[in-house]
Chains A and B, each alone.
Chain A
Amino acid sequence: MALPEIISGRVWKLGDHVNTDLLHPPSHFTPDEKRMKEGIAEGRTRLGAGVKGDSSEEGWIIVAGENFGCGSSRETSVRGLASFGVKGVVAVYFARIFMRSLVNLGIPVFEAKEIQGCVKDGEMIRISLKEVWIEGPDSKRFPFSPLDPHLRRILEAGGLIGYLRSEKHGI
């Protein structure tokens, strides 16, 4: 089982309707992983990230608003986030292609409403998949909507390619 019980990381906060063109400008489309990651750094600059610097030893957890990831299906935005060290994504709600792609690449998604106003950029948060809570820096806990069993199975397989392998081998 590839899915850890607890995920933790630094908050990267984003607003409502953040689209994939903003997150990863289309001019930065590339199959090269290193340059894909640079596209995310460019997106962070354009979005005005509240935390200086692009690296976090602890990894990142995005806390976004409504309709996160609307726009293009270009998976470079999601692959770039994975290279960037994003370990999980919280949003009020997601755009559908973007949510599928996050799960397909093994990045857990959480729909939660109250947390957006209670955390700041750079703060450490923890998420328990088992007990269904997100814990802010002051230990306050917020619930999230339970993940659909299908998406959970994909995440447990480490992504859609792992899921396909398990389907093929009847595991």
Chain B
Amino acid sequence: MAKGITGEIIEGHADGRSEGKYLSVEVDFVLLHDPTFALLLPELKESGEEIWDRDKVLLTVDHFAPPSSIERANMVKEVLSFAAEKKLPHLSVYQGICHQLLVEGPWLKPGMLVLGADSHTVTGGALGCLATGMGSTDILYSLITGRAWLKPPEAVRIDLREKLPPYLMGKDVILDLLGRYGEGGFLYQAMEFYDMDEALSMDDRFAICNMAVEGGAKNGLFQPDRVTEDFLIERDGCLSHPVNRFDGERPYSRKIEVELSKIKPKVALPHSPAQVIDAEEMRGEAIDQVFIGSCTGGRLRDIELTAKLLMGRKVARGVNLLVTPASQRIYQKAIEKGYISTIIGAGGVVLNPSCGPCGGIDKGILGREEKCLSTSNRNFKGRMGDPSSKVFLSSPLTAAASALAGRIIDPREVM
């Protein structure tokens, strides 16, 4: 079987037990956030069991951050009182979106096996881990046992060649793949990316892995390389262990070649992240709102390119531009570098780091038949508001350019 790096990680974590096609594996780290943890909390308490290793758990409050209703406030209160009672060492309240906090912190390293109670946990695969999302009951099982049952997936190798031209971002790369292979195009599979020219930034890689789940994949993963090592050194101050680069040839069930310079800026049409066309084909679709943020598109590079494009310009009349940095750390850096000031100067509204508009949680909810261009990962019907509203997805560059134009355009028109 073409097991790829993912299969090697699973085998390396197997404890020797198997049932059907599933292997019992040891888990290195678990990510939790307020709503999905609130769901499993009553059962965890009722079981009388303890978390297997509190040091290997990050609990974040990022969805209801801060809460916008009494019910949500009560959920957050429950979660926080449990964290205090159990003295959870890694707790992050209103500091940003869990998938960004997980990779900013010192925990994830190449070769680890990481689970999260959120489908976009796949983001962490950009660091060369096997990171995947599960439902609350699966996570409850792992929290108690420190294990999980995984079915080793078929692995697909995706070779990325050359550099991204200045008008493209990681988001365009993953939208291009989703457009070509569809919402079920990588079902149950591992998408393993090899950056042949070591030319993609970590922020672009996070955006790519983040949307692996939109193709049905179990996980997305970048083969660790120099870019990974540089990121880890900057993050941790040094490399605590030599990085396993997973060098060497291995069999794959499919191989896909992507020439980065051949891609054009992409837009996903309502209501599927896999219904993708070139931005230049949009023929000036008018929009009411532009949202730049989320665990896909709210990182420093996203904010930086947005600000550089908006510099000295004004957002079109009738368009609301909302910008949400993915974490407080990113927010602070964006302030220091002047990006936030530029965005505000152009007419943008900056919201505090949280999930916010992406899942229709709070702020920037869409009204009847409103149209939004978003840098998030999902444009399912009704996800961001009224069921008659429409969400288009693009890179932050395309989103910023479209905010200036008041309609969806190819960013090359204003670069």
Residues of A in contact with B (beta carbons under 8 Å apart): 17, 19, 21-22, 25-27, 29-32, 46, 66-67, 70-76, 78-79, 93, 95-98, 100-101, 104-105, 148-153, 159-161, 164, 167
Q: What are the residues of chain A within 8 A of B134 when measuring CB–CB? A: 73, 97, 100-101
Q: Which among A70, A100, A151, A159 has the greatest number of chain B C-beta atoms within 10 A?
A: A70
Offer 26 A-B interface pairs, CB within 8 angstroms, sorted by A. A21-B380, A26-B360, A27-B382, A31-B75, A46-B387, A70-B184, A71-B378, A71-B380, A72-B119, A73-B36, A73-B133, A73-B134, A74-B36, A74-B135, A75-B36, A75-B39, A75-B136, A95-B187, A95-B216, A100-B138, A148-B22, A150-B149, A160-B138, A161-B137, A164-B141, A164-B144
Distance to closest chain B CB from A153 (angstroms): 6
Residues of B in contact with A (beta carbons under 8 Å apart): 19-22, 35-36, 38-39, 42-43, 47, 71, 75, 117-119, 133-138, 140-141, 144-145, 149, 151, 183-184, 187-188, 214, 216, 218, 272, 359-361, 378, 380-383, 385, 387
Distance to closest chain B CB from A132 (angstroms): 16
Contact B183 A67 (CB under 8 A): yes
Residue of B nearest to A46 (CB): B387
Contact A21 B378 (CB under 8 A): yes
Q: What are the residues of chain A within 8 A of B20 when measuring CB–CB? A: 148-152
**Cβ-defined partner of A21 (8 Å) among B75, B361, B381:** B381
The 9 tightest CB contacts between A and B, nearest first, are A101-B135, A149-B20, A148-B20, A150-B19, A150-B20, A104-B137, A21-B380, A150-B22, A67-B184
Contact A100 B135 (CB under 8 A): yes
Contact A27 B71 (CB under 8 A): no
Q: With the chains together, A148 CA to B188 CA distance in Å?
A: 15
**Cβ-defined partner of B119 (8 Å) among A22, A29, A78, A97:** A97
Q: Which among A75, A79, A159 has the greatest number of chain B C-beta atoms within 10 A?
A: A75
Q: What are the residues of chain B within 8 A of A26 when measuring CB–CB? A: 359-361, 383
Q: What are the residues of chain A within 8 A of B382 when measuring CB–CB? A: 21-22, 25, 27, 46
Q: What are the residues of chain A within 8 A of B21 when measuring CB–CB? A: 148, 150
Q: What are the residues of chain B within 8 A of A95 when measuring CB–CB? A: 187, 216
Given contacts A70-B216, A97-B119, A97-B135, 10 further A-B contacts (CB under 8 A): A46-B382, A72-B119, A73-B117, A73-B136, A79-B39, A96-B188, A104-B141, A105-B137, A148-B22, A150-B19
Q: What are the residues of chain B within 8 A of A96 when measuring CB–CB? A: 187-188, 216, 218
Q: With the chains together, A58 CA to B20 CA distance in Å?
A: 32
Contact A75 B183 (CB under 8 A): no
Q: What are the residues of chain B within 8 A of A97 when measuring CB–CB? A: 119, 133-135
Distance to closest chain B CB from A48 (angstroms): 11
Q: With the chains together, A167 CA to B146 CA distance in Å?
A: 14
Distance to closest chain B CB from A78 (angstroms): 7
Q: What are the residues of chain B within 8 A of A70 when measuring CB–CB? A: 183-184, 214, 216
Residue of B nearest to A45 (CB): B387
**Cβ-defined partner of B187 (8 Å) among A72, A93, A101:** A93
Q: With the chains together, A89 CA to B99 CA distance in Å?
A: 31
Distance to closest chain B CB from A148 (angstroms): 4
Q: What are the residues of chain A within 8 A of B151 when measuring CB–CB? A: 148
Contact B216 A74 (CB under 8 A): no
Q: What are the residues of chain A within 8 A of B144 when measuring CB–CB? A: 164
Q: With the chains together, A95 CA to B21 CA distance in Å?
A: 17
Residue of A nearest to B40 (CB): A75
Q: What are the residues of chain A within 8 A of B218 when measuring CB–CB? A: 96
Q: What are the residues of chain B within 8 A of A78 when measuring CB–CB? A: 135
Q: With the chains together, A122 CA to B205 CA distance in Å?
A: 46
Q: With the chains together, A30 CA to B134 CA distance in Å?
A: 18
Distance to closest chain B CB from A96 (angstroms): 6
Residue of A nearest to B365 (CB): A27
Contact B383 A21 (CB under 8 A): yes
Q: What are the residues of chain A within 8 A of B387 when measuring CB–CB? A: 25, 46
Q: Which among B20, B38, B137, B382 has the greatest number of chain A C-beta atoms within 10 A?
A: B137
Q: What are the residues of chain B within 8 A of A27 when measuring CB–CB? A: 360, 382, 385
Q: A46 with B137: in contact, given A76-B39, A95-B216 (CB under 8 Å)? A: no
Q: With the chains together, A159 CA to B385 CA distance in Å?
A: 33
Contact A73 B118 (CB under 8 A): yes
Distance to closest chain A CB from B185 (angstroms): 10
Q: A74 with B35: in contact, given A21-B381, A22-B380, A148-B22 (CB under 8 Å)? A: yes
**Cβ-defined partner of B71 (8 Å) among A19, A30, A148, A161:** A30
Q: What are the residues of chain B within 8 A of A66 when measuring CB–CB? A: 184
Contact A104 B138 (CB under 8 A): yes
Distance to closest chain B CB from A86 (angstroms): 16
Distance to closest chain A CB from B354 (angstroms): 14
Distance to closest chain A CB from B114 (angstroms): 14
